[in-house]
Amino acid sequence: MKNMRITFYKSKSVYQLQTETKIVAFVYGEMGYWPVPIVGRDITVSSLNYADMTDEILESAEVGSMFGWDLPLAQLAKDYAERRLAESQNKESENEKNRIS
């Protein structure tokens, strides 16, 4: 399986960042956040995130990226990311079986 990363996108006030971006990305298992360069006006946080991602999951991901993914407050995002990774792996295995058949 190729390396898959689960990324959480969240809006941030320009005043909270040292950058012009209004969207940041938190990557499951990694510390910190990355500004997301936005080209065009039609890109929103909801269009970048999975449809079932909630505000609670995003808050949990922010805690994980800032203070560690093993904290209880990061558990919701950790569970979500691990479920998404397992679904992706299962889908990839199924596709591989179909290619072989």
Amino acid at site 54: T
Query: Tens of pLDDT along 28-46?
Result: 999 998 888 777 667 778 8
What is 19-71 written as a DSSP string?
Answer: SS-SEEEEETT--S-EE----SS---HHHHS-TT--HHHHHHHHHHHHH-TTS
Extract the tokens encoding 82. 């691990």
pLDDT at 17: 47
Residue tagged 């992706």 (tokens)? 88
What CA–CA distance (Å, rounded) separates 65 from 31?
Answer: 4
| Sequence spans of domains, the chain | 7-100
The number of residues making up the chain comes to 101
Flag whether pLDDT at 82 surpasses 90. yes
Does position 63 have pLDDT exceeding 50, yes or no? yes
